[in-house]
Chain A
Amino acid sequence: MNQWMTLFKKEMLEMSRNFKWIWVPLTFIMIAVKEPLTLYYMPQIIDSLGGLPEGAVIELPVPSAGEALAASLSQFNTFGVLIIVLITMGTIAGERKSGVAGLILVKPVSYAWFVTAKWASSMILIWISYFLSYFLSWYYVGVLFEFISFMDFLQSFFVNGIWLTLIVTVVILFNTFMKSPGAVGFISIGIIVILSILSSSLPHLLEWSPALLSAYANAFIMGSNLPDELLPSIIVSVIMITLSLLASIAIFKRRELA
């Protein structure tokens, strides 16, 4: 466990040296908070851009608080996912590509510790950024529209967070058998996109799909009925996360590093 802490501390130090602790939370906050703000100020924005032609009357439906927060949530599943893939795609592949992994792993380093320390540090960075940004978004929705129950917010936060966790884990998994961060990123995005499209176009076949978690997370803040598939899909996700992590370790052990 001593060694795990050493590896973990190195990851945390690295993330602060290359300013990930600053730009990742900031970017998350920007993409999340932008949604309720633009929705609220849309009439003024249109006005300042020259306004509508004389006589034109467009009824802009005033969005509900739930819709405004849901808009933030959907940002996490587009830009948010992209950022997550970008910051994790090189975490192991990059070290192997540069050759530093060869120097580290000839030391008696546990492969399981190595992979899980990487995973844990990415998780912490992403969950904290995600919480801060989603919480701020929830707060702005409350101020500008109306406050959504904090419990509902928290539940949607955790349900969607499981999907984000699965993404981090899958990116780490690809890290263990590809040497190029670019390829890891490309394939991860590809898989996520395919899974999301399949799940939303064939929801009756793939109703337990983890990719639907974000849709299910919406249900909490929209006040709609919780789907029965919520629990199975959480369970499927947790199983997939665990299996991916175990597979990462097993694959990483067998890889030639040089």
Chain B
Amino acid sequence: MPVVNIINIKKQFQDQEVIKGMDFQLSERKCIALLGANGAGKTTTLKMLAGLVKPDSGSIVFEGAEKADFRRLIGYLPQFPVFYEWMTGNEFLEYAGQLAGLPKSEAKDRAKELLELTGIAEAKNRRIGKYSGGMKQRLGIAQAIIHRPKLVMLDEPVSALDPFGRREVLELMDKLKKESAILFSTHILNDAEEICDEILFLHNGELVESGTLTGLRTKHQQAKIDLAFKENTLQYAEELSLLQPVSSMKLDGEYASFFVEDIEYARELFLTEIMQRNLPLVKFEISRTRLEDVFMKVVQK
């Protein structure tokens, strides 16, 4: 069941078209990554979904928002969260929980639970003004999920974190996936690859590609074979590239990379040729398309 339906939203700042018509759907208990380079429009998209920026046209329809305020259904972590510096972490969470509609006692319990879960329990009675960047990020995540929203939107939740923090937050998101839909933006492809079901590629304000991780891999699969010879790599590579299935070849310093259509067939063909001619092979490696390659490919279109 979709949690939210986004239909052809557009946004312009001054005369710059930042979002150029975007459609997508978010479903329950799915984790979706919004991928894109700096300035692609990730933050603007999330702000529109959170109601902080109004789209110029198009619509954003939350399931169940006809009856109640849609803000009950969402939790949002801005890219650079700012808090009331004079509050303690615990006070802020209780405040956020109560504003989100939790009764006071429940807000207290949830605050306690989330302080533990996000690993800032020991700083809970310190003023937020004295928190480090990573601690604020964790507090930001905690306030976003305190009311158990159906859709959690996180704008670069792990960019400000150290490797341990990153690990912890990714694990937290993995758990969160069981109760809520998650939409998070990142430009770190590894993070998306690790916990996401679906991926939206944003480029210059347009969705250039989207789909499930496996779907995208299959679609953009472009098997690559790296080859190196003891000597004359260039000459041999050029001879090999004359063989039929090679779609392109790239010489990269010591070795040559072949992009081929059918990896099994190409392997067979190359190896036979190399054996027959007894070429001085030193490296033969088959590598599969990673998300990064898909990203590069769709962005260059």
Q: What residues on B are CB-neighbors of A257 within 8 Å? A: 52
Q: Give the distance to chain B from A20, nearest Cβ to Cβ, in Å.
A: 11
Q: What residues on B are CB-neighbors of A14 within 8 Å? A: 84, 86
Contact present for B78 and A99 (CB under 8 Å): yes
Partner-binding segment picked from A100-108, A153-161, A171-179, A182-190: A100-108
Contact present for A6 and B95 (CB under 8 Å): yes
Q: What residues on A are CB-neighbors of B71 within 8 Å? A: 106-109
Contact present for B53 and A258 (CB under 8 Å): yes
Residue of A nearest to B100 (CB): A107
How many Å lie between the Cα of A140 and that of B170 in the bound state? Answer: 67
Q: Report if A38 contacts B (CB, 8 A).
A: no
Mask for B22-43, Cβ within 8 A of A = 1, else 0? 0000000000000000000000
Q: What residues on A are CB-neighbors of B140 within 8 Å? A: 103
Contact present for A103 and B99 (CB under 8 Å): no
Q: Give the distance to chain B from A113, nearest Cβ to Cβ, in Å.
A: 10
Cross-interface CB contact of B52 among A17, A98, A100, A256, cutoff 8 Å: A256
Contact present for B95 and A100 (CB under 8 Å): no
Known contacts: A98-B82, A258-B47. The answer to whether A106 contacts B96 by CB under 8 A is no
Known contacts: A99-B80, A258-B47. The answer to whether A107 contacts B99 by CB under 8 A is yes
Contact present for A106 and B74 (CB under 8 Å): yes
How many Å lie between the Cα of A109 and that of B74 in the bound state? Answer: 13
Count contacts on A: residues with CB < 8 A to the other chain.
22
Q: What residues on A are CB-neighbors of B76 within 8 Å? A: 103, 106
Residue of A nearest to B80 (CB): A99
Q: Report if A3 contacts B (CB, 8 A).
A: yes
Q: What residues on B are CB-neighbors of A10 within 8 Å? A: 84, 95
Known contacts: A102-B78, A256-B52, A258-B53. The answer to whether A108 contacts B83 by CB under 8 A is no
Mask for B47-79, Cβ within 8 A of A = 1, else 0? 100111110000000000000110110111010
Q: Give the distance to chain A from B13, nearest Cβ to Cβ, in Å.
A: 11
**Which of A90-117 touch B at CB < 8 Å?**
98-100, 102-109
Q: List 14 A-B contacts (CB under 8 A).
A: A2-B98, A100-B83, A102-B52, A102-B82, A103-B78, A103-B140, A105-B52, A106-B51, A106-B71, A107-B100, A108-B101, A109-B71, A257-B52, A258-B47
Which residues from chain B sit less than 8 Å from chain A, CB to CB? Answer: 47, 50-54, 68-69, 71-72, 74-76, 78, 80-84, 86, 95-96, 98-101, 140, 143, 147
Which residues from chain A sit less than 8 Å from chain B, CB to CB? Answer: 2-3, 6-7, 10, 14, 17-18, 98-100, 102-109, 256-258
Further pairs besides A14-B84, A256-B52: 20, Cβ < 8 Å: A2-B98, A3-B101, A6-B95, A6-B99, A10-B84, A14-B86, A98-B82, A99-B78, A100-B83, A103-B140, A103-B143, A106-B51, A107-B100, A108-B68, A108-B71, A108-B99, A108-B101, A109-B99, A256-B53, A258-B47
Shortest 7 CB-CB contacts between residues of A and residues of B: A99-B82, A258-B52, A108-B71, A108-B69, A107-B99, A17-B86, A106-B76
